[in-house]
Amino acid sequence: MGYISTLKCIECGNEYAIDENISECLHCGNILQFVFNYEELQNKISKKELDKRIFPLGVWKYQEFLPINFYPDPISLGEGGTFLHESLNLAKELGIDLYLKDETRNPTGSFLDRGTTVIMTKLQRLGIENVRCVSIGNFGVSVAAYAAKAGIHCEILLPRDGIDIGKLHQMIIYGADFVPETREISEIEKRAEKLTDEFFYLKPTNPYFLEGIKTIAFEIIEQLNWYTPDRVIVPMGKGSLLSMIWKGFKEFYKLGLINSLPKMTGIQSEGCSPIVNAFKRGKKHATSIKTVKTIIADLSFVNPSDGFRAIQAIQESGGVAEAASDKEILEAESLLAKSEGIFAEPAAATTIAGLKRLIDDGHIDKNEKIICVITGLGLKSPEAVKDMLSKIEKAERLIREPEGRMIVKRIGDTKLRILEILSEETSYGYEIWKELEHRFGKTIKVPTVYQHLSELAKLSLVKESDLEKANGSERKYYMLTEKGKKVLEMLKKLF
């Protein structure tokens, strides 16, 4: 492409030829960034040119700003081109001029699809057949979907704990292979780095992936009819979303398409806020933290790889960084849904929680035009909603009932009756067999009763209690476990 001059390390400044297929600086291991030839771009791109494009709003409308051509056969699912809602109710409540960039509308429900379309197109053109990534959330979901579209085999190394259930369901349905890991995510990343097989290891710091993200900035400008907002607020995990949106704004500025730049404002969860901490202490680099104390897995990076650029962008733009508690974030999620009809996941609602804090602390001028980027869809992490609604009995029942039916379906009616019999007193196989027929009209064979008991024991719902000698043979007694009692209690409440 004639529009790119070089691939440059953000830390040591080493430069690489753009056709070198490398993912990070060979000298210092840091992130590489494409540097564009702005004079060439200026000859091609103008407001008029962008206005008349037949491409709909979306990532590929800005193909001259991407490191790869749209033609031929891009791996696209229709990413980008998301709504910029003018907030009415929430804006009124907060007393500000607020817009919401609704990235929940992307193909897999998060902004990451903007980057994945670019890198997956590149990988397919390189003839890559296997791709591997490490992810606990939306990055893995997006890679799985676009790999499916590209016909590339996808493997995800997945930390065992903390994944949002909706995201796991998405990865499964897109057909990705999993390798569950017990280690911390940073340890898994180190392991993935060392694997030498035919897989391409795709990291969220890949320069092709990152360039797609900045199109959020281009869309915001066009949607505001070529006006620059005063402030853009984004959630921060690794820091790349903020740094790439900033890169996008600066590129439009360099081309003379806009006359000013917005203040970049980044929000993290209090339980994992290395970028915010560093910014507040006036440091250039995010200092890694030891423990994570937040439920928001998608923002939990103890050592954020793009922290340096995020801090630089916030400082350069005159913005600010702030953290919000999990409680404030969940309240913001609910507020956003109730006031604007947008169901965001907790990570995405951090922007609203952070905005509220900044208003309370007097950091925000009420005349500012503010954009909050809502990064991902709420259905991805229904656990957060369950927590929120646990106090509302009606809602809890509606959520629990289908789960109860699933359990009955899985264990079956006979096992349920056995649990009921054992809830009254401990008993043994032959006695249970008689009770099943007498009380519930179930005519099965005695060995089948023992089979059921052994299966219930495997599920940890019953356990052996006593061994009694009777008529020269041994009689094994069974009782309910605590788990068995709970399951039975829950099912009795429902049916």
Query: Is-contact 67 207, C-beta < 8 A?
Result: yes
28 versus 398: smaller Cβ distance to Zn ion = 28
CA distance 354 to 394: 31
CB 256, min distance to Zn ion, A: 31
CB 27, min distance to Zn ion, A: 4
- The helix or strand, by DSSP H or E, that contains position 7, with its residue range, turns out to be strand 4-9
CB 307, min distance to Zn ion, A: 15
Cis amide linkage into residue 262, ω under 30° from 0: no
Closest-CA residue to 73 (of 174, 144, 151): 151
Going by DSSP bridges, is the β-strand pair 369-374/320-324 parallel, antiparallel, or unpaired?
unpaired
Window 200 to 259, contacts with Zn ion (CB under 5 A): none
CA distance 494 to 484: 16
Window 19 to 78, contacts with Zn ion (CB under 5 A): 25, 27-28, 30
35 versus 179: smaller Cβ distance to Zn ion = 35
Closest-CA residue to 408 (of 325, 296, 477, 493): 493
CB 189, min distance to Zn ion, A: 18
Other Cβ atoms less than 10 A from the Cβ of 138: the count is 30
Instruction: Give the interface size with Zn ion as a residue count (CB under 5 A).
Output: 8
CA distance 28 to 459: 51
Would you call 325 helix, strand, or coil by DSSP? coil
CB 32, min distance to Zn ion, A: 8
Query: Is-contact 351 359, C-beta < 8 A?
Result: no
CB 9, min distance to Zn ion, A: 3
Window 1 to 20, contacts with Zn ion (CB under 5 A): 9, 11-12, 14
25 versus 411: smaller Cβ distance to Zn ion = 25
CB 390, min distance to Zn ion, A: 49
- The helix or strand, by DSSP H or E, that contains position 158, with its residue range, turns out to be strand 153-159
27 versus 405: smaller Cβ distance to Zn ion = 27
Q: What is the DSSP string of 171-218?
A: HHHTT-EEEEE-S-HHHHHHHHHH--SS-EE--TT-HHHHHHHTHHHH
Would you call 28 helix, strand, or coil by DSSP? coil
Token duo for residue 251: 């590129």
Burial class for 52, CB neighbours closer than 10 Å (0-12, 13-18, 19+):
exposed
* Beta bridge partners of residue 232, listed in sequence order: 264, 371
CB 201, min distance to Zn ion, A: 19
28 versus 165: smaller Cβ distance to Zn ion = 28
Would you call 45 helix, strand, or coil by DSSP? coil
CB 95, min distance to Zn ion, A: 45
CB 10, min distance to Zn ion, A: 8
CB 61, min distance to Zn ion, A: 32
153 versus 285: smaller Cβ distance to Zn ion = 285
9 versus 245: smaller Cβ distance to Zn ion = 9
CA distance 207 to 147: 18
30 versus 312: smaller Cβ distance to Zn ion = 30
22 versus 446: smaller Cβ distance to Zn ion = 22
24 versus 331: smaller Cβ distance to Zn ion = 24
25 versus 98: smaller Cβ distance to Zn ion = 25
Query: CB under 8 Å to 46, separation ≥6 — which residues?
Result: 257
Q: At what angle do helices 326-340 and 382-389 cross, to 10 degrees?
A: 90
Window 89 to 118, contacts with Zn ion (CB under 5 A): none
Residues that bind Zn ion (CB under 5 A): 9, 11-12, 14, 25, 27-28, 30
